Each structure stands twice: as structure tokens, then as C-alpha cells.
A = this chain, B = another copy of it.
Amino acid sequence: MEPRQASIAVIGCGVIGESWSALFLAHGYDVHAWDPNPEVRARFAQQIERPLAQLASLDPNPRPKGRLRVAGSLIEAVATAGLVQENAPERIPVKRALYVEIEAAAPKNSIIASSTSALTWSELSPALLQPARLITAHPFNPPHLIPLVELFGVDNDVLARAEAIYRDLDRKTVRLKKEAVGHIANRLASALWREAVHLVAEGIADVSDIDAALVNGPGLRWSVIGAHMVYHLAGGEGGIRHYLEHLGPSQVRRWETLGSPQLTAEVREKLIAGIASEARGRSVSELESARDTQLIRAIQARREGR
């Protein structure tokens, strides 16, 4: 598929499907969207106005937008698709059943990409006659703003064609060499959160202080430099080799002191109370808007630096 020469099918129109659709449309791709729930379909065009407006605010010279069609059936949605982006619930039977229908109705050469965060290619692919058409293409929430798309598949040509499309959307793609539950980003996030929960459970710091430490410390730094590269710089002119030789053993000892919390009722109540204090009366929707405003500003700053 050459970028923007065929339509893109968005299957599953929840928050991830909305975000993907806005991104495809903003970059000039026609989107044919479908969700099994007629109410979701009915409100979909309106739902994507907010992410579309956010993307417009990021782009001083927008391309001509693609056209959105909310399809009446799955078959109709995928009929002319070069890429099918599937965002169904995270249940293997649901996704497998969809793939059987998609494979029968979509153009033979089209790519089937699953947004799955928690399932793997091996769990999803057996439903297909041509499993190599399937890739996992995991975006990071909110996908229209966060650049990352994590890819896994078994056919280099399929992966390369998918990468061309995602890069055309200004996404940063990374390929996994072996599949893993949670891919890369959610495994890192899960590892960090485990320790963040441990700090709360042990009474070392409050939820809001842990979040403030992250946002004003390692989070800010990881928005410009990766975790491995941090240790390369920490080694001075000797770099990562020097670091590993001299401070590697102390890191391994540190790892051994990290927590293994359980989400007991007591810990859950501490987390809930801590978030209530951090939220200071703001609703989830208000907090999301604040996050998006700040993300847009951070992304603008990156683009100015290119």
C-alpha cells in the first residue's frame, strides 16, 4: 500500500479507535470505521472532533484531511482497506472471530494490525489463513498525541509496509525481535509502577509526591533520553562500559531491594486516597484535558527543535 492510496479500516470505535481515526484523517487518509455497537457508530463522527482539533493545533500547515465514512458493516469497512487497524476488546476469541471475517472481506494484500496491548501475535494469529498478514501495532495512549507504535510480526515486507504508513503519520515505530506480553513500553511502565506502589505501601512517600518526583525528575529526563543511554552518560567519558564495571554491582544490589507489593485492600485504599488528594477535585475528563494540553506543548517543543 502506498500511503494514502487506499482507505484505512478502523475496527472498534472506542477511545483507541477514535484516536487512530483522527490521526489517519489528519494525515489525509480516508477512514472507514466500524463498531458492532450502533450507538457507538452514531456518535463516532462527533467523538473524533476533539482529537482532530488537538491535531490541528499541532500542525500549522495541515494537509488536506481524509474522509471519514462510518460503515454499516464490517465487510463494508474493510472492502477497500490497505490497512485494517483493529481495536476490539482484549479478548482472544473476539479478536480471532473478527480476523476470520476481515480476512474474507478485505483486499488480499491488506495488512491486519492489532492495537492489542495485552495479547501477543502468537495468541491472535492462528485464526488467519495467512497469519503473516497480521501484525501487532501497539500505540501508546493517547495514540494521536504519543508518537510510539510498537510492532511485531513475522513478515518483513508486511512490517515494512506498515512502518511506511505509521511513519507517514509522524509516528515513531520500534520493532520487537521477539514478542512479549506488554511489548516494551507497558513492561517498562509496569515495572516502574510496581515500585511506585511499593513506595506507597511502605509509607515512604505519598502518591502525589511520587508522581511529582517522576514528572519533575526521571519522567522529564526520559522524554529526551532513554534509560540505557542515561547510564552511558553516567559513566562519564568511559561511558556504559565504565558504568557497568564500577557501578553495575551496586545496581544489581539496588534491584534486590526493590519492592514486590500486592494490591491488597489496604494498599488499594491508600492509592485511591492518594489520587483523590492529587486530583484536587478535578474530574478524570478535566485531568485528561490538562494532560493533553501539556502533551501538545511538549510535542510542539520537540518539533521546533528538529
Residues of B within 8 A of A163 (CB): none
**Interface residues of A: mostly helix, strand, loop or mixed?**
helix
* A287 interface hit (Cβ, 8 Å): yes
Q: Are A213 and B174 in contact (CB under 8 A)?
A: yes
Contact residue among B185, B188, B190 (Cβ-Cβ distance under 8 Å from A255): B190
Task: Give the one of A177, A205, A248, A295 with max B CB within 10 A.
Answer: A205
For A204, list chain B residues within 8 Å (CB): 176-180, 184
Contact A275 B232, CB 8 Å, known A172-B212, A216-B147, A224-B215:
yes
1/0 per position for A81-97, CB-CB distance to B under 8 A?
Answer: 00000000000000000
A104 proximal to B (CB < 8 A): no
Q: A176: which B residues are within 8 A, CB to CB?
A: 204-205, 209
Query: Within the complex, which residue of B188, B219, B228, B283 is in contact with A226, where a contact is CB–CB below 8 Å?
Result: B219
Question: Is A236 at the interface (CB under 8 A from chain B)?
Answer: yes
Is A40 in contact with chain B by the CB < 8 A criterion? no
Please name the residue on chain B nearest to A294 by beta carbon.
B224
CB <8 Å contact, B190 and A209: no
Q: Mark A25-69, 1 if CB is under 8 A from B, else 0.
A: 000000000000000000000000000000000000000000000
Shortest beta-carbon distance from A9 to chain B in Å: 25
B298 to A300, Cβ gap below 8 A? no
- What per-residue 1/0 map shows which CB atoms of A184-223 lie under 8 Å from chain B? 1111111111111001101111111111111111111111
Q: Which of B188, B196, B216, B300 contacts A214 (CB under 8 A)?
A: B188
Asked if B190 and A205 sit within 8 Å, CB to CB, the answer is no
Q: Is A2 an interface residue (CB 8 A)?
A: no
Q: Is A109 an interface residue (CB 8 A)?
A: no
Judge whether B293 and A305 touch: CB under 8 Å: yes
User: Is A73 interfacial (CB 8 A cutoff)?
Assistant: no
Contact, CB under 8 Å: B278 / A228 = yes
In the complex, A239 has a CB within 8 A of chain B: yes
Contact present for B219 and A219 (CB under 8 Å): yes
* B residues in contact with A272, CB < 8 Å: 240-241, 244
A180 to chain B, nearest CB (A): 5
Q: Is the CB of A148 within 8 A of B213?
A: yes
Are B223 and A298 in touch, CB under 8 angstroms? yes
Q: Does A129 contact B (CB under 8 A)?
A: no
A248, B199: Cα distance in complex, Å? 17
A/B interface sample: 13 pairs, CB < 8 A: A140-B217, A174-B212, A183-B213, A187-B258, A193-B228, A193-B231, A211-B227, A212-B226, A219-B226, A229-B278, A232-B287, A239-B284, A301-B301
- Known interface pairs A221-B291, A244-B272; 14 further A-B residue pairs with C-beta atoms within 8 A, sorted by A's residue number: A141-B234, A177-B203, A184-B213, A188-B195, A188-B213, A196-B227, A211-B228, A215-B225, A223-B298, A224-B294, A239-B275, A241-B272, A244-B268, A297-B302
